[in-house]
Amino acid sequence: MFLVVVLVAGGLAMGSIRYIDHCKGASGPKVPVTVVVPRGTSGGEVAEILHRRGVIRCGGLISHFLVGTDDRAGSIRAGTYQLTTNMGLPAALTVLTAPPHRAKTIRLTVPEGYRLTQIADRVHEEFGIPAAEFMALATSGAYALPPYLPEGTRSVEGFLFPATYDVVAKGASADGIISLLLGQFGKEVADLPWRNAAALGVTPYQVVTVASMIEREAGVDSDRPLIAAVIYNRLERHMPLGIDATLQYVDPNPDNGLTTSDFHINSPYNTRTHVGLPPTPIASPRLDSIVAALQPAKVRYLYYVLCDADGQGHHRFSVSYGQFLRDRHACLGK
């Protein structure tokens, strides 16, 4: 009787081993199938999904057992996979636990205060996309980001958010990069107090225009809300803004400094001779500049002059023109 029991147990064990091997194995035609593993799916549930799709031979407890005893079970990733029928459990788990393929990316850095032309040049350097192609698209009027960039606005100047981006190299295009940077602008500014714009007498688009001037003028963060106050105070009094950075925007040689003749350029960007804001932003402002444009300091300043003894870009602010002249003499020797 003992011998019979031993033989029966041995036979069952041998049969079980063979059945397990059969369930692990695979044979038959390999037809492509799509397998979806929802987030939070257990190992046993994954086994049932694979069995229903014909990827593995066996379902039920045995498939649960096989998955549960595989060290890779805890590394199964949710997602959509392209497998085949009769693939077998070991091969299927290899696919389901493989780390996702990381596409080659190129790092694109857009510094704060860059103009569209400078961004176009940077994109050309990194991706080989012609700057002229980038500029044609960026000034085509095809992009909008309400309420900040209204539909029909010709240019995205000021709305390509300055930051560092990892852009997938394959298939990179001017349209894709513009859309990426424009989308980042929307994310960054979404929680700002845009309701302040109306109280300041400007539109959200004009807030970005003000922010772009702050970006080009300010050297230190503490000056940003003060420069914003000067801009709004002058707008309220219908005074020319007198901001040279707007003139540099249309200067054919902006990196060579402004000359006396440049100050007489007949352009709406010449805020020495034209009252009001320039027609568009003049650069891509950082978030701090946009915040300052929405929350200017509560001061009466109308003038400022660079007073950069420490080399950090500080300005000296004043209410009266007389004090401004004294500050200019003290700071610039003029």
Whether a cis peptide bond, with omega within 30° of 0, leads into 252 is no
Q: What is the pLDDT of residue 251?
A: 74
Which residues on neighbouring strands pair with residue 80, listed in sequence order? 36
Beta-strand runs (E) in the chain: 32-37, 79-84, 105-109, 164-168, 303-306, 315-318
Under DSSP, is residue 174 helix (H, G, I), strand (E, B) or coil?
Answer: helix
Q: Is residue 322 part of a domain?
A: no
Q: Is residue 316 part of a domain?
A: no
Is residue 175 domain-shared with residue 222, that is, in the same domain? no
Q: Which structural domain, as residue segments, surrounds residue 110?
A: 105-189
Is residue 68 domain-shared with residue 162, that is, in the same domain? no
Is residue 203 domain-shared with residue 218, that is, in the same domain? yes
Is residue 48 domain-shared with residue 84, that is, in the same domain? yes
- CA nearest 305: which of 318, 322, 320? 318
Mean pLDDT per 10-residue section of the chain, whose length is 334 residues: 44 51 66 84 79 76 61 76 83 81 88 96 96 97 95 96 93 94 95 96 98 96 97 97 91 65 82 94 98 98 88 90 94 85
Q: Among residues 44, 79, 96, which one ends one of the domains? A: 96
Q: Is residue 315 part of a domain?
A: no
Dist CA 333 CA 54 (whole Å): 85
Q: What is the pLDDT of residue 1?
A: 56
Q: Assign residue 111 the CATH number of its domain.
A: 3.30.1490
Q: Assign residue 63 the CATH number of its domain.
A: 3.30.1490.480
Is residue 66 domain-shared with residue 122, that is, in the same domain? no
Is residue 49 domain-shared with residue 64, that is, in the same domain? yes
Q: Is residue 125 part of a domain?
A: yes
Q: What is the pLDDT of residue 11?
A: 46
Is residue 131 domain-shared with residue 154, that is, in the same domain? yes
Q: Among residues 132, 158, 189, which one ends one of the domains? A: 189
Is residue 200 domain-shared with residue 295, that is, in the same domain? yes
Q: What is the pLDDT of residue 287?
A: 98
Q: Among residues 189, 220, 239, which one ends one of the domains? A: 189
Q: Is residue 122 part of a domain?
A: yes
Dist CA 325 CA 334 (whole Å): 8
Is residue 227 domain-shared with residue 267, that is, in the same domain? yes
Give this prediction's pTM: 0.73
Q: What is the pLDDT of residue 246?
A: 93
- Residue 42: phi and psi, rounded to 5, are -75, 165
Dist CA 68 CA 90 (whole Å): 12
Q: Is residue 180 part of a domain?
A: yes
Q: Is residue 306 part of a domain?
A: no
Under DSSP, is residue 216 helix (H, G, I), strand (E, B) or coil?
Answer: helix
Q: Are 186 and 145 in contact (CB under 8 A)?
A: yes
Q: Is residue 273 part of a domain?
A: yes
Q: Please tell me the total count of domains within the chain.
A: 3
Is residue 92 domain-shared with residue 115, that is, in the same domain? no
